[in-house]
Structure 1
Amino acid sequence: MIELYHSTHSTCSQKVRLCLAEKGIAWSGHHLNLRRFDQLKPEFLAINPAGMVPVLADGGFTANESRVFTLSESRIINEYLEEAYPQVRLAPADVHARARMRLWTKFSDDVATDAVKLPSFVKNIQPELQRLAPEEVRAMVARIPDPKVRERWTRAVTAGISAADLQPAIDRLTGMVERMDKALAQGPWLAGDAYSLADIDIAPFVHRLNRVDLFYLVEARPRVKDWYARISSRPAFAAAIPPAGSEGIQPVAA
């Protein structure tokens, strides 16, 4: 049985849940509320010292049931699921389309993941930090493994994050939807004719534009808007990416 340590509104958790749902893989969940900083609790840091979700633990694929294969990094998790659970294929059969798919999954890691962090932080995490006493924030910041995240949290409760600070992220997200628009001029899905991990890995970041008041970037591009309408109407999308405000997502049945 697969266990997933995840958070409802984490884009990287959504990528993995969407892959699991499309493949019809049963899993049990350990939900972390990032707004309450569950990812910094010692019990989770013992599982992933980086303090990041998702983490997948697969105890059902190995020959020895006492061994559990644990994996972090959403892109790598989805690649693992594609190879370990091939009953529903999410990689194109065509070698060129597979290469295009890999370019998109790499782009989701290298560009989209980082670009969405600051707008998401301002919308979701900064208000929570500002409600805490300064000594609570200092204690929490000291537990953050990633120095970049520590710096961002510190700025949020001191100088704050300005519109000028956000602009580079908005520029990169604009570049993301422009790149999508060009790809979708060549076929219905990002890697071509087949729905694939390319679409799965990018979908949460397009969805997030809704929650950070940047969805106008999608609405201005009919091909991207149509792609989002099609992917968001899939049953797996509804199972993996719940409406804003929901907590404690339940396991997806096989």
Structure 2
Amino acid sequence: MPILKDKNFPEFRGLHLWHAPMSSCSQRVRIALCLKELSWVSHPLKLDKGEHAKSEYLAINPKGLVPSLINDGEVITESIDILSYIEGKFGRLGNQSLSESVITEGQHLLQKIDEAQKDVKTCSFFFLFRVRSMMNDNEFGFFQNNHSNIELVKFHERFRTGLSRKEVQESVDRSLLFFKLIEAKIEKNNGYLLNGSFSIYDLALVPNVHRFSLMRWPFEEYPNISSWFKRIKSKDWFKLAILDWEPPELIDTFSDFVGKSKNDNISAFL
């Protein structure tokens, strides 16, 4: 778990979250905070303006990724690890009585969900984010020169010149396998990922399914995921942690773009 032992900010008492409204990893942590009804101080970052490359944020998280959580001065990074931290500090996120064997299986699922994040990013940028405002030349120059994550910088360089269809196709192909796995898990486990009830593993999955639903992934072909997500969307914390942070005009723009795309919509890659 990446608790940054060499970082401590005693001036930040209580829970403080550095996050971005449309970041799926940030959504994951906001869900956990809302689910546990914890009070927290919001520090939103504009990723489309390169604010995660500013020295003030890199001092907190040298990798320059969101989200980052500070609890009474202690810094925790990486969304999956933050979920585990919140469970350890504030109690289980969902099912309270999971057996050790189920938890072991769940850890494997968390790894799969974490690995899928790369494809969530690639597909989001290609199928959705092309129509929103991004960094201008000056902002991108600052981002290139100051962000410490070379892989992320190179991704944004490719995005600015146009992600290749090969890269996008590979992400879609992996996502297809991922959702087939999730569909089978939910069917096997009585409507949830494990043990027939909501748990940290379902929580971790929510942003993935929500993001791909914005891209109009054909979830009608996945009846178990569809039923699961319908239940998820009825929860108060779904609105508080996800919908309330998504600008309605941006979501409308995404919907129009996806609807009008022909050769560049996700169905063309399936």
TM-score range relative to shorter protein: 0.7 to 0.9
1:142 is matched with which residue? 145
Q: 1:73 aligns with which of 67, 71, 78?
A: 78
What's the CA shift for 1:125? 6.4
1:44 is matched with which residue? 57
Structure 1 residues 103, 88: CA separation in 2 closer, same or farther (over 3 Å shift)?
closer
Structure 1 residues 82, 125: CA separation in 2 closer, same or farther (over 3 Å shift)?
farther
Q: Distance in 2 between matches of 1:157 and 1:126?
A: 12
What's the CA shift for 1:214? 3.9
1:196 is matched with which residue? 199
Q: 2:103 aligns with which of 89, 95, 98?
A: 98
Aligned 8 A contact 1:22 1:88 in 2: yes
Counterpart check, 1:116 vs 2:120: yes
What's the CA shift for 1:89? 4.9
Higher relative contact order, chain-length normalized (CA < 8 Å, sep 6+): 1
2:262 is matched with which residue? none
Matched letter for residue 231 of structure 1: I
Gaps of 5+ in 2: 1-13, 250-270
Cα deviation per residue 1:127-155 (whole Å; 9 max; x = unaligned)? 544x723x553342222211211212222
Aligned 8 A contact 1:105 1:198 in 2: yes
- Between the two proteins, what is the percent identity of the paired residues? 26
Matched letter for residue 170 of structure 2: P
Q: Distance in 2 between matches of 1:48 and 1:188?
A: 37
Cα deviation per residue 1:67-126 (whole Å; 9 max; x = unaligned)? x1111011111101101112765554222222222122111112x111111122233268
Q: 2:187 aligns with which of 185, 188, 196?
A: 185
TM-score of the superposed pair, with normalisation by structure 1: 0.84
Aligned 8 A contact 2:143 2:153 in 1: no
Aligned 8 A contact 1:2 1:27 in 2: yes
2:243 counterpart SS class: coil
Q: Distance in 2 between matches of 1:24 and 1:8?
A: 19
Q: Distance in 1 between matches of 2:164 and 2:89?
A: 44
Aligned 8 A contact 1:51 1:145 in 2: yes
Aligned 8 A contact 1:8 1:246 in 2: no
Aligned length: 233
Q: Distance in 1 between matches of 2:183 and 2:159?
A: 34
TM-score of the superposed pair, with normalisation by structure 2: 0.79
Counterpart check, 1:10 vs 2:23: yes
Aligned 8 A contact 1:101 1:198 in 2: yes
Q: Distance in 2 between matches of 1:73 and 1:125?
A: 25
1:175 is matched with which residue? 177
What's the CA shift for 1:166? 0.4
Gaps of 5+ in 1: 60-67, 248-254
Matched letter for residue 71 of structure 1: I
Structure 1 residues 203, 137: CA separation in 2 closer, same or farther (over 3 Å shift)?
same
Counterpart check, 1:157 vs 2:166: no
Q: Distance in 2 between matches of 1:49 and 1:24?
A: 29
